[in-house]
């Protein structure tokens, strides 16, 4: 159990909840923790920050009762943390293009910092429906510098008008991109997969599925032959090649039935 140290409002729906945890502070970019909101539920969350002093955070959008309660957390409240779990993103010197939407920016923020530290070229595209939906613009600007940060809004209220996938596609065509990293709505990630594979660019995505155990036992988090908690949550183009009838198309509900993504 860990005590919440602060809760920061990021935009009109999303909050970042901070806590101290030594084990989570040793995480690698893209790893997640199972967060227990007492009296409600336990659910997976990407680590959006972690530092050498043990300060960590998760960045939460309220969907159901558990995450709805978590965004209201106050300093001193207790939350349960298990982990960190899962396969992280690859961190090397390849020229990287990071594309994120919504809470998908959460695992991309520590990734951007790690890639810059590694010495690679890093560009970031942040997408949102409208200006008030954008997440981590300032934090990403500090991580990768202004000229490497690109914003898109579907309604054109800020940055480039259009989808992040359209801007990413032109950047992949114009620039020398070695690897695309993405997290966000699965339809966006599937489009980016198709664009990247066609362009012969490496691809890694952090996917979301309902998780119960988080450690490869219960089988609730399948994506094709992969168990997302154990083999992901970061999957690369090779992992996804045999799951294209599910990736961006289908996922399982809590009872195990397939539903549309
Ligand atoms: C590896 C991993 C990392 C994740 N990281 C984050 C993160 O950083 N921040 C974050 O906010 N969430 C993240 N999630 C999703 C998060 O676990 C769920 O949003 C959470 O389980 C919701 O729990 P709940 O009990 O509040 O809602 P539930 O009671 O589980 O769901 C309530 C309703 O909302 C729907 N719903 C729940 N989650 C989503 C979703 N993501 N998209 C669309 N509909 C949804 C459900 O289908 C259901 O109808 C991550 C998931 C995975 C697998
Ligand atoms: S959550 Fe149980 S196997 Fe993945």
8-state DSSP, 167: H
- Which atom, in ligand 1's list, is nearest to the CA of 48? 8
User: Do the domain assignments include residue 188?
Assistant: yes
Q: Is 162 found in the same domain as 216?
A: yes
User: Do the domain assignments include residue 190?
Assistant: yes
Q: Is 186 found in the same domain as 80?
A: no
Q: What is the pLDDT of residues 79-133, one digit of tens each?
A: 999 999 999 999 999 999 999 999 999 999 999 999 999 998 999 999 999 999 9
Q: What is the pLDDT of residues 217-229, one digit of tens each?
A: 999 999 999 999 9
pTM: 0.94
Whether residue 106 has its Cβ less than 6 Å from ligand 1 = yes
Average pLDDT over residues 153-169: 95
**In terms of DSSP bridges, do strands 222-223 and 258-260 run parallel, antiparallel, or are they unpaired?**
unpaired
Q: What is the pLDDT of residues 46-81, one digit of tens each?
A: 999 999 999 999 999 999 999 999 999 999 999 999
Q: Is 252 found in the same domain as 221?
A: yes
Residue owning tokens 């070695």: 178
Domain carrying residue 21: 2-85
Whether residue 217 has its Cβ less than 6 Å from ligand 2 = yes
- Which atom, in ligand 1's list, is nearest to the CA of 37? 25
Q: Which of 49, 65, 85 is the last residue of a domain?
A: 85
The terminus-to-terminus CA distance of the chain in angstroms comes to: 33
Q: Is 52 found in the same domain as 14?
A: yes
Between 149 and 120, whose confidence is greater? 149
- Sequential DSSP letters for 62-100: --SHHHHHHTT--TT-EEEEEEEESBPPP-SSS-EEEEE
Whether residue 227 has its Cβ less than 6 Å from ligand 1 = no
| CATH classification of the domain holding 191 | 3.40.50.80
Ligand in nearest proximity to the CA of 110: 1
Average pLDDT, the chain: 94
Q: Which of 85, 108, 138 is the last residue of a domain?
A: 85
User: Do the domain assignments include residue 198?
Assistant: yes
8-state DSSP, 233: B
Between CA 143 and CA 148 the distance in angstroms is: 10
């Amino acid at each position: 159990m860990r005590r919440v140290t602060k809760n920061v409002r990021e935009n009109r729906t999303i909050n970042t909840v901070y806590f101290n945890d030594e084990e989570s502070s040793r995480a690698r970019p893209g790893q997640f923790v199972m967060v227990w909101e007492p009296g409600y539920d336990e659910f997976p969350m990407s680590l959006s920050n972690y530092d050498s002093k043990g300060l960590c955070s998760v960045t939460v959008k309220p969907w159901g009762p558990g995450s709805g309660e978590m965004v209201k957390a106050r300093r001193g409240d207790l939350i349960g943390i298990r982990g960190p779990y899962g396969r992280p993103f690859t961190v090397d010197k390849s020229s990287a293009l990071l594309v994120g939407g919504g809470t998908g920016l959460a695992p991309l923020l520590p990734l951007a910092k790690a890639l810059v530290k590694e010495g690679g070229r890093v560009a970031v595209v942040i997408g949102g429906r409208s200006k008030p939906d954008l997440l981590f613009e300032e934090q990403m600007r500090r991580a990768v510098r202004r000229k490497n940060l690109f914003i898109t809004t579907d309604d054109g209220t800020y940055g480039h008008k259009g989808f992040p996938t359209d801007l990413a596609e032109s950047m992949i065509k114009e620039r020398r991109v070695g690897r695309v990293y993405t997290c966000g709505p699965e339809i966006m990630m599937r489009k980016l997969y198709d664009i990247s594979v066609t362009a012969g660019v490496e691809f890694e995505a952090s996917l979301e599925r309902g998780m119960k155990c988080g450690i490869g036992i219960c089988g609730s988090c399948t994506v094709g032959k992969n168990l997302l908690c154990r083999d992901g949550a970061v999957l690369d183009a090779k992992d996804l090649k045999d799951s294209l009838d599910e990736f961006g198309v289908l996922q399982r509900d809590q009872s195990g039935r397939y539903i549309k993504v």
